[in-house]
Amino acid sequence: MSSLAVGKADTAAGVTPGAARSRPPLRRRIALVPTAALLLGALYCLLPVAWVVIAATKSGSELFATFTFLPGTGFADNVSDLNAYRDGVYWQWMGNSALYAGLGALLSTLVSAFSGYALAVYRFPGREAIFNTLLAGVLMPPVILAVPQYLLLAKADLTDAYLGVLLPQILSPYGVYLSRIYASAAVPADVVEAGRMDGAGEWRIFTRVALPMMVPGMVTVFLFQFVAIWNNFLLPYIMLSDDEKFPITLGLFTLLEQGANTPALYTLVITGAFLAVIPLVALFLVIQRFWSLDLLSGAVKS
């Protein structure tokens, strides 16, 4: 019996016994245990975020006196206090983070795209050696790098400067690795060969042919690097002492450190944390559909 006939019978006489039988079972079973487990997991992951949203609305006295998940009345005051704190240095921190993460991720993605393309498309002496050397960078504990990086950059007078935080984060071994995987899946060798037959130079082939093909993967590399730099704490912690140049992570940390002596600052820390979470969560929600997350696991469907 064709489905068209079932459809006709349906419209003609409502639900006929024959039509009901050909449908999938009516009891639309829900897998209860998996759904419940996932909901518990979601609850656990959202709990601190929900807490900070509510806590940011509380005035200093309400924070310690009222039930945690009861909204307070002090949100506007908290925000204006945060604005007033050290002439709005908080917004400077946010701007700095945007600069470090935005520019850093952009440069990092370009460098990764160059190297990933070269490693995927060309056969040349030293290819695997270069790749493995770059990859070993993933394993280096950040501190074995950051301490001597600090000492070396101090000699170049670049500590306590924007460049001191920006430059060491441009090369990402993981970004190179991802770009190589993506380039070898997305850029077919015969396309590159065809470009050469047409007399295009290597640079032209890369910018006009290969790079457009690599864009989806490079978006993932960019986002990955953006989050990594935005979340970085150790490097700016070591590199910077002038708090005008702090990223938001370091700024909030110093605020918390001072808050340990003056609990009045706790409301500032909490409001600051809440506002700092907003842009990243918003970014995350908007862009998560553009991520090819399968790339992160090293699996690319070509």
Partner 1 sequence: MTTASRKAYGVKGAPYAFLLPAAVLFLLFFALPIGYAIWLSFRKVKVSGLGLGSGARKEVWAGLENYTDALTDSELVNGALRVLGYGCIVVPVMLGLALLFALMLDSDKVRLAPFTRLAIFLPYAIPGVVAALLWGFLYLPDVSPFYFVLEKLGLPQPDLLDGGPLYLALSNIAVWGGTGFNMIVIYTSLQAIPAEVYEAAKLDGATPLQIALRIKIPMVAPSLVLTFFFSIIATLQVFNEPTTLKPLTNSVSTTWSPLMKVYQDAFGKGDIHAAAAQATIIAVATLLLSFGFLRVANRRNKQEAAR
Site for partner 1 in 70-109 (CB under 8 A): none
Supply the minimum distance, in Å, between the C-beta of residue 35 and partner 1: 5
Query: Is 185 one of the binding residues for partner 1 (CB under 8 A)?
Result: no
Residues 133-152 touching partner 1, rule: CB under 8 A, are: 133-134, 136-145, 147-149, 151-152
Distance CA 99, CA 169 (A): 13
* CB distance 197 to 147 below 8 Å: no
Distances, alpha carbon 9 to alpha carbons 1, 12, 14, 21, 26, in Å: 11, 5, 7, 13, 18
Whole-angstrom CA distances from 46 to 42, 57, 198, 214, 281 are: 6, 17, 55, 34, 12
Min dist. Cβ of residue 75 to partner 1 (A) = 16
Kindly give, in sequence order, each residue whose CB lies less than 8 Å from that of residue 141, ignoring residues fewer than 6 positions away.
none
Residue from the set 71, 114, 160, 213 that interacts with partner 1 by CB under 8 A? 114
Please say which residue, 17 or 141, places its beta carbon nearer to partner 1.
141
Gap between the terminal Cα atoms of the chain: 39
Give the one residue of 1, 37, 163, 215 binding partner 1; rule: CB under 8 A.
Answer: 37
- Binding map of partner 1 across residues 242-281, x = CB under 8 A, - = no contact: ------xxx-xx--xx-xx-----x--xx--x--xx--xx
Look up residue 225 and give its two tokens. Answer: 């690097």
Per the CB < 8 A criterion, the answer to whether 73 and 57 are in contact is: yes
Please tell me whether residue 233 binds partner 1 under the rule CB under 8 A. yes
Window contacting partner 1 (CB under 8 A); options: 17-25, 76-84, 120-128, 211-219: 120-128
**For residues 105 and 229, is the Cβ–Cβ distance under 8 A?**
yes
The count of residues interacting with partner 1 (CB under 8 A) is 101
Q: Which pair of tokens denotes residue 198?
A: 């047409």
Indicate which single residue of 89, 130, 161, 185 sits in contact with partner 1 (rule: CB under 8 A). 130
Determine which residue in the list 171, 211, 213, 219 makes contact with partner 1, applying CB under 8 A: 171
Kindly report the CA angle at 176 between 172 and 182, in degrees rounded to 5?
140
In Å, the largest CA–CA distance within the chain is 87
Min dist. Cβ of residue 159 to partner 1 (A): 12
Distance of CA 238 to the CA centre of its chain: 23
Q: Quickly list H helices, 198-301.
A: 202-204, 211-231, 234-239, 248-259, 266-287
Quick one: which segment of 3-11, 14-22, 212-220, 283-291 binds partner 1 (CB under 8 A)? 283-291
Residue 244 phi, psi (nearest 5)? -70, -20
Q: Does 21 bind partner 1 (CB under 8 A)?
A: no
Q: In this complex, which beta carbon is closest to partner 1, that of residue 5 or of residue 39?
A: 39
For partner 1, which residue of 18, 41, 95, 212 counts as binding (CB under 8 A)? 41
Q: Site for partner 1 (CB under 8 A): which residue of 75, 93, 117, 246?
A: 117
Q: According to CB under 8 A, which residues from 186 to 225 bind partner 1?
A: 196, 201-203, 206
Q: Which is nearer to partner 1, 233 or 290 (CB)?
A: 233
